[in-house]
Structure 1
Amino acid sequence: MDLDGDLHALVCGDGRVRRFRAGRSSSAANAVESARLTLRRLAYECADADRMLARLTTLGARLEAVLLGPAARHLGDGPVVVVPTGGLHGVPWALLPALADRPHAVAPSASAWLNSLAVPAGSGEVLVRGPGLATLGAEVPVLTRMYPSARVLEDGSATASAVLDSLNGTALAHIAAHGTFRADNPLFSALALDDGPLTVYDFERLGRAPHRLVLPSCGSGRLLPVGADELLGLTAALLPLGTAGIVASLVPVNDPATVPLMVSLHEALRAGATCADALHRARRATCADPVRQATALSFVALGAA
C-alpha cells in the first residue's frame, strides 16, 4: 500500500499479517519504467542484448528493495499472490529475486483473487490467430495438435463476432493477436482480428468469460489505475466476468521468442498446472538467449486458476 508516498508491504500467511516499510513510490515508479523500457528494447534484439539482460538483473534487485524491502525475507517457500497498489500493476514481478524462482500470480484485489478460486472451469478450447504477426502465430498449429478438439479461428475466420461467440464459457482460450492499449480511454483497448478490433467494450458483452485466457502479444496485460481502487484495461474487464486465470504480456514482446514460451506454457497447463505455475515452468525451460529470457520476464499471470 501507498501511504503519503511511502510503500508498505503487507505479508499475509501463517495466520497473521505483518507490515514492512519498503521504499518511496516515486523511486518505485522510476525503477518500473526503467525495467519496462529495457524489456521493450530487448524485444527488438538490441545489439548489446547481454548488457541489457545484466541491467535487468540490477533493476530486479532495485525493484525488490523499493517494492518489498524487508518483506522479501518473510515470503516463505511456496507460491506468492501479489496484490499491488493501483500504480504498480505494470511491474514485471518476475525480475524480483524473491519471486524469480517461485510461482507467483498477480490480482487486482484480495477479494478478486478469492472469487476467482470459485469460478467454474467451463469446457472446450479456442485457438485464435489474428493478422500481422511476425511469426503468423506459429505456436497455434502446435497447440492445435495439443488440443485436437479445439475450435481454431484463423485465415479470415478470426472475426470479432466469431471470436467473441467462441469465447463464451470456454475452458481455455489462446488469442495470438496484436493488441493496442488506449491510455486515453482504456475501454477502447483492443485485439486486432481479421475484420478489425475486438475492444474491452466487446468483451463486456460476454455472458461468461473464458475460464483461462492466454494473450501472447503486445502488452495485453497493461492496466491503468483510475481513482483509488479501480483498474481499466482488457484483463481488468475479464476477471469480474468469470475469467479465473490470465497470462498476458506487460510490454510489447518479440514474436519469434514468444512461440517456444507459449508451447512450454501450454504443456504445463495440460499437465494440470495453474497459470502461475505454468508460466513459472515455462520461464525455467527458456534457453539462455537474452531475447528469450527478456520475453519470458515480460509475462505475468493474473488470477488464481
Structure 2
Amino acid sequence: FGQGPDDERRERELMESLRGRLWHRAGSGAVLPRVDLAAVRAAADGRGVLAVAYCWTEETVAAVVVGDGGPGRVVGLGPTRAVTALLGGLGPDLETAAGEPAGPLARAVDAGLRTRLAALAELLVTPLDLPTGRPVVLSVPGAFRAVPWGMLPGLVGRPCTVPSSLAAWVRTGPWPARPRVAAFAAGPGVPRSDEEVQRAATAWPAATVRVGEDATVEQVSTDAGTADVLHVAAHGRHHREHPSFSRVELADGPWFGHDAHRLPRTPGLVVLSACEGGRTAVRWGEETDGLARAWLHAGAHCVVASAASVRDEVACEVLPEVHRRLAGGEAPALALAGATADLPTTLVCLGSGW
C-alpha cells in the first residue's frame, strides 16, 4: 500500500471487505478436547518446567503456579491498580530506550526503565518464589502482552515461553527434534539487517539467505514453505484495527500475517526481528491477535519476537548467538535465555519454546 490519503482509504476499504468475507466463511467445525488442571500439571511435571497462570480482575492480580511437585498453589500478587500504574508507562519507556538517547537523557531513561522493571518484578515475579533456573511457562492476560519477561529481575537468563494459553501449550507438545533447514530474509531500509541474517545463517549447514531485491514476498514464501526455521529481519507494522493484516515489509511489498496460512508447510520456529513483530491487540475473551499470533495459529511451534523496538546492534549480536545455540540442539526458549543472559532484550519466546 502507498502512504497517501487515497491509498489509506483504499487500504481500509479492502480490509473491511476481506474481514466481511471471513465472517461468512465456514469454519473447520473442529472442537478441541478440554485441557484441565491435571493435564497442565502432568505436562509441567513431564517436561520439568513450572507453569504460571496470571489472573486479573478489576481489584487484584494473582497467579496459579503448577509443576513444583504439589497440586498447585495460588499466589496473591497485590492490587490491580499498582500493576496498571507500572504497565502504563512501560511501552513508552522501552521505545525511548530503543531510540538510543545520548548523554544525560540516556542515563535518565535507563535508570527509569530499570526502576520500572524492578518494580514489576517485585509484584509479578518475586512472590512466586520460583526455584533458581527452572524454566517457566507464562500464561498471561491481554493486559500483560507487552511485558518483556526476559528483562525482569528473577527471569533474566531463565528460559521462559509465553503461549497463547496453557491449553495450547499442552496440546502443542514439546519442541520436536533438532531443526535442519533454515531460511533467512532481510527487508529494505533496516540498518544491519543484511549483516544480521548473514551472520545468523553461518550457524546452519543448510541455509537460504535472501537480501536486497532477492527478498521478495514470493521467494521468501517459497523458502518458508520448506524451512524448519524462518528468520525475517525487516520493518514491521502492527495493524490495530485489523491485527491479522499486521505485516513485515519485503523488497516488493508487505507480507501479511494471514499469508502464513497459505504456506504448504509452516516452519517450526519463526524469528521476527521486526519492530512491532510481537505486538498484539486484545479481542473479546482476552484473545490476542497480531503478526506473531498469526504464525502460531498457522502451525508454528513458537515465535521469537518483540512487542517493542529492538536496537539494530542488539539484534545483530543476540540473534546470531540464538541460532548458534539452536543449531547446536537447544530448544528456542533455552537458546534465547542463554543468548540474552548478559544482554537482556525485549525479545520473547511465544508459543511452546521447548
| Alignment check: 8 A CA contact 2:156 2:341 kept | no
Give, in angstroms, the shift of residue 169 of structure 1.
Answer: 4.7
| Alignment check: 8 A CA contact 1:178 1:191 kept | yes
| Alignment check: 8 A CA contact 1:6 1:22 kept | yes
> In the alignment, which of 24, 40, 45 is matched to residue 100 of structure 2?
45
One-letter code of the match for 1:34?
G
> In the alignment, which of 65, 78, 86 is matched to residue 134 of structure 2?
78
- The 3-state SS of whatever aligns with 1:166 is helix
- The 3-state SS of whatever aligns with 1:228 is helix
> In the alignment, which of 88, 99, 123 is matched to residue 33 of structure 1?
88
Establish whether residue 279 from structure 1 lines up as the match of residue 279 from structure 2. Answer: no
**Counterpart Cα distance in 2 of 1:75 and 1:4:** 30
- The 3-state SS of whatever aligns with 2:255 is strand
Q: Deviations over 1:81-101 (max 9, x none)?
A: 111012211111123222124
Instruction: Report how many residues are paired.
Output: 295
- The 3-state SS of whatever aligns with 1:175 is strand
- The 3-state SS of whatever aligns with 2:206 is coil
| Alignment check: 8 A CA contact 2:198 2:209 kept | no
Establish whether residue 22 from structure 1 lines up as the match of residue 77 from structure 2. Answer: yes
One-letter code of the match for 1:192?
E
- The 3-state SS of whatever aligns with 2:192 is coil
Q: Which residue matches 2:253?
A: 196
Establish whether residue 240 from structure 1 lines up as the match of residue 297 from structure 2. Answer: yes
- The 3-state SS of whatever aligns with 2:241 is coil
Q: Which residue matches 2:60?
A: 6
Give, in angstroms, the shift of residue 285 of structure 1.
Answer: 4.2
Q: Deviations over 1:95-120 (max 9, x none)?
A: 32221241111111012112332575
Q: Which residue matches 2:173?
A: 117
Q: Which residue matches 2:277?
A: 220
Q: Which residue matches 1:134?
A: 191
Q: Which residue matches 2:25?
A: none
Per the alignment, do residues 101 and 95 of structure 1 end up closer, same or farther by CA in structure 2, a change over 3 Å counting?
same
| Alignment check: 8 A CA contact 2:247 2:256 kept | yes
Q: Which residue matches 1:176?
A: 233
In structure 1, list runs of 5 or more residues that go unmatched.
287-295
Q: Which residue matches 2:200?
A: 143
**Counterpart Cα distance in 2 of 1:212 and 1:64:** 28
Q: Which residue matches 2:262?
A: 205
**Counterpart Cα distance in 2 of 1:219 and 1:125:** 23
**Counterpart Cα distance in 2 of 1:136 and 1:106:** 26
Give, in angstroms, the shift of residue 56 of structure 1.
Answer: 2.4
| Alignment check: 8 A CA contact 1:24 1:66 kept | no
**Counterpart Cα distance in 2 of 1:140 and 1:78:** 31
Q: Which residue matches 1:291?
A: none
Q: Which residue matches 2:144?
A: 88
RMSD between aligned residues: 2.1
**Counterpart Cα distance in 2 of 1:195 and 1:300:** 28
One-letter code of the match for 1:188?
F
- The 3-state SS of whatever aligns with 1:281 is helix
Q: Which residue matches 2:351?
A: 303
In structure 2, list runs of 5 or more residues that go unmatched.
1-54
| Alignment check: 8 A CA contact 2:234 2:274 kept | yes
- The 3-state SS of whatever aligns with 1:137 is helix
> In the alignment, which of 104, 113, 117 is matched to residue 60 of structure 1?
117
| Alignment check: 8 A CA contact 1:218 1:251 kept | yes
Per the alignment, do residues 269 and 168 of structure 1 end up closer, same or farther by CA in structure 2, a change over 3 Å counting?
same
- The 3-state SS of whatever aligns with 1:219 is coil
Q: Which structure has the larger Rg?
A: 2
Give, in angstroms, the shift of residue 6 of structure 1.
Answer: 1.6
**Counterpart Cα distance in 1 of 2:263 and 2:112:** 42
Per the alignment, do residues 181 and 22 of structure 1 end up closer, same or farther by CA in structure 2, a change over 3 Å counting?
same
**Counterpart Cα distance in 2 of 1:86 and 1:283:** 25
TM-score of the pair, normalised by structure 2:
0.77
**Counterpart Cα distance in 2 of 1:75 and 1:113:** 21
Give, in angstroms, the shift of residue 266 of structure 1.
Answer: 1.3
Per the alignment, do residues 226 and 267 of structure 1 end up closer, same or farther by CA in structure 2, a change over 3 Å counting?
same
Q: Deviations over 1:13-55 (max 9, x none)?
A: 1242111121333432331232222221111211232332232
- The 3-state SS of whatever aligns with 1:150 is strand
| Alignment check: 8 A CA contact 1:95 1:297 kept | yes
- The 3-state SS of whatever aligns with 2:309 is coil
Between the aligned residues of both structures, percent identity stands at 31
Give, in angstroms, the shift of residue 167 of structure 1.
Answer: 1.0
